[in-house]
Amino acid sequence: MIFRKSEPPHPVEQSSAPSRPGTKGRPTRTRKEAEAARRRPLVVDDRKEARKRDRERASQERMEAQQALVTGDERKMPAQHRGPERRYVRDVVDSRRNVAEYFFPIALVFMLVALVLPLIRPEITTAMSTGMIVVLWGGIALCVIDSLVLRRSLRAKLTERFGSVGQGLVGYGIMRAIQIRRFRLPKPQIKHGEAPR
């Protein structure tokens, strides 16, 4: 028994009648046409002008971020300083008196004196060296102890307020505590002894 393929239907001629309502009214474009429409040159015609615009935009963003660090506007701060947890850590650190913020200026003055005084009075060089070692190592030990106390305090307060301690928050607080208060960025928004916001 031989089966014959049915004859293909005769092609229907496109009518010039208007398209049905709700249709595009035009054929769908091919993938090749769509890709060609999206294609843009990789190299801008005026590269110098483009670089100049990029530099100006980056400079403007840096200025806004710097201003935000001074004013406390979190919307424009760099990403590493944003968020309620980081603001709380800053406030906890800024509300307490940290040993390191006083130790580093004192150590700097002490080191300058230790460099200048032996030039004036060479006979006290040994005593000055011993005193400098005692003061510096004693101050460093106090800073380490204060950092451990701050670490424990931050972990307890963050757990109480937010339910957990986010990654890097304790280190963020300790690094802030080491800095001299006047030079901290973002600028402290509360005074010593005030409750964190």
pLDDT one-digit tens code per residue, 9-54: 555 445 455 556 667 778 888 998 888 888 866 665 677 888 888 8
Lowest mean pLDDT among 53-57, 122-126, 185-189: 122-126
- Answer with the residue of higher pLDDT: 168 or 132: 168
User: For residue 78, how far is the Cα from the chain centroid?
Assistant: 4
Q: Which of 189, 196, 191 is nearest to 154 (CA)?
A: 196
Rounded CA-CA distance 47/164 in Å is: 49
Rounded CA-CA distance 34/102 in Å is: 66
Q: What DSSP designation does 46 have?
A: -
Rounded CA-CA distance 138/8 in Å is: 99
Rounded CA-CA distance 132/137 in Å is: 8
**Would you call the peptide bond into 186 cis, given omega within 30 degrees of 0 as the criterion?**
yes
pLDDT digits (tens, 9 = 90+) for 67-79: 888 888 888 888 8
pLDDT digits (tens, 9 = 90+) for 152-165: 999 999 999 999 99
